[in-house]
Amino acid sequence: MENSTEMNCAKFTIVLPKEEVQLKTENTESGEEWRGFILTVTELSVPQHVSLLPGQVIRLHEVLEREKKRRIETERLPSTSLEKETEPIEDYVDVLNPMPACFYTVSRKEATEMLEKNPSSGNMILRPGSDSRNFSITIRQEIDMPRIKHYKVMSIGKNYTIELEKPVSGYFLVDEFSFASFQTCLTEYKER
pTM score, whole prediction: 0.40
CA nearest to 18, candidates 82, 71, 89, 81: 89
Highest average pLDDT, of 35-39, 129-133, 141-145, comes from 35-39
* Spatial contact of 21 and 13, defined as CB atoms under 8 Å apart: yes
Share the mean pLDDT of the chain: 71
The share of the chain scoring above pLDDT 70, in percent, equals 66
Query: Rg for the chain (alpha carbons), in Å?
Result: 20
* Per-residue pLDDT tens over the stretch 69-108: 888 887 776 655 444 444 555 555 555 445 566 677 888 8
Among candidates 115, 117, 161, 160, which has minimal Cα distance to 138? 115
d(CA 104, CA 97): 14
**One-letter amino acid for residue 104 of the chain:** Y
May I ask the CATH architecture of the domain 94-191?
2-Layer Sandwich (3.30)
Query: How far is residue 168 from each of residues 6, 31, 192, measured CA to CA in Å?
Result: 46, 41, 11
At 185, is the pLDDT very low, low, confident or very high (cuts 50, 70, 90)? Answer: very low
User: Domain residues of the chain, as ranges?
Assistant: 4-76, 94-191
CATH dotted code for 4-76: 2.30.29.30
**Residue 148 vs residue 98, higher pLDDT:** 148
